[in-house]
Each structure stands twice: as structure tokens, then as C-alpha cells.
A and B are shown apart, each in its own frame.
Chain A
């Protein structure tokens, strides 16, 4: 079974621009979660989608948004980029996401650098 894939792997943008990141979950998985990873804050939860609906949301500003398509693929968008948005953005998929024992499988991440 193919793992979680994320595109692009690396991205360089300038302040004020917007960016869209893509995540393809493991086949059959319906839950996709997004995280931001920085050295100082670690992994911080952005949001989780299940069957095209956002089920959970972390404490990030409205500039961070996402969506999920009918094939479970998910996109994350960040508008009006700030220097502090430079981070590794990780996507994780799980089969149901509704059970706390449901294992999350992470992709390799997209490294975003904002200049």
C-alpha cells in the first residue's frame, strides 16, 4: 500500500503571497489531519477533515484553511504569508479518525520557507 504523499516537498514564497499544499492519504483512509512543525513549537494541530467536512480545528488564524475532496485528497491553503509561517507542514491520514486509538500515518511533509 502506498503511503501518504505530499506535494510539493519544498516551497519558497515571499511575504504576502498565498500557497496551496496537497496531501494524498493512504488508500481507504478517510481522515486527513494537518500539522505545522517548527523547532520551537513542535507539531501543532491545524485541522482535521473527514468525508469532506472539517471536524476539528486548532488555534490558527483564518489565513489557514483547508478542504477535502471526495477521493479524500486534501489541500491546505495559507493566504497572506508571514515570515512566521515558515515551517514543515505535515499531513497525516487515518482510517476513521474518530477513535483515539486510530493510528495516524504521516507524510514526509512540505517544507515552506517565507522570505
Chain B
């Protein structure tokens, strides 16, 4: 079993929709949770990070962590065509500098 599981999609939504992206994990030692966005032919770029359960909001993006269920989510409100990309979740423990990534979810926002 992989330590981080992520539905690869693809996910296709109309412009303005609310998007929900999710990851589950098995290692209860994970303390630090991140979401990356990767455009085609580019490296991943950090969108958001959090290290506690609950919600963290940044503009149209909300990251949610439920450590009891080992489940994290990224919500995108008022989705835009420019949000079309692959979204990767990543996590690490608080002792190491090794990040564990999900396989990524491909998102297309249709104008």
C-alpha cells in the first residue's frame, strides 16, 4: 500500500464550479501537509501548506486536514480555466526532510 493515495482523475468541471481534491494517507507520523500545482511541462509549485487539523484558507483555495481520518482535501472556489493543472498532495513527518507525494489529480476547468 502506498503511503499517500490520490485519485488521479481526470476531473473536468465548468468554470465557476467548486472543486474538491482529496488524499488519504496511512502514516500517522505525517504532520506537515502540502498541496502543489503542476502545469504541463513545468515543475510543481507550492500552493498551500498546513501542519494542523482544520481548515486553512488562501483566497479561493481552502486546505482541510482531518488527522483522525488521515484525510486531506483542497477546495477551489469559483474555479477558473487557469486552474487547469495537475494537483499533488504531499506530506512529511516533523523529523525529516523527505516528502511523500500523491500521484496527482488532473483538473480541467472548462470556460
Chain A contacts to B: CB under 8 angstroms: 4, 31, 33, 35, 39-45, 48, 55-56, 58, 90, 92, 94, 97-109
B44–A56 touching, CB < 8 Å: no
Residue B97 contacts which of A35, A41, A48 (CB distance < 8 angstroms)?
A: A48
* Majority SS at the chain B contact face: loop
Knowing A42-B6, A43-B101, A45-B100 touch, does A100 contact B92 (C-beta < 8 A)? yes
A41–B99 touching, CB < 8 Å: no
Closest beta carbon of chain B to A22's beta carbon, Å: 15
Residue B94 contacts which of A40, A44, A90, A100 (CB distance < 8 angstroms)?
A: A100
Closest beta carbon of chain A to B30's beta carbon, Å: 10
Q: State A90–B8 Cα separation when bound (angstroms).
A: 19
Which range holds the interface residue count of chain B? 20 to 34
B49–A101 touching, CB < 8 Å: yes
Q: Which residues of B contact A99 (CB under 8 A)?
A: 97
B97–A97 touching, CB < 8 Å: yes
- Chain B residue with minimal CB distance to A44? B101
List 5 extra interface pairs beyond A40-B103, A42-B88, A106-B45, CB under 8 A.
A31-B97, A39-B103, A100-B31, A101-B32, A103-B49
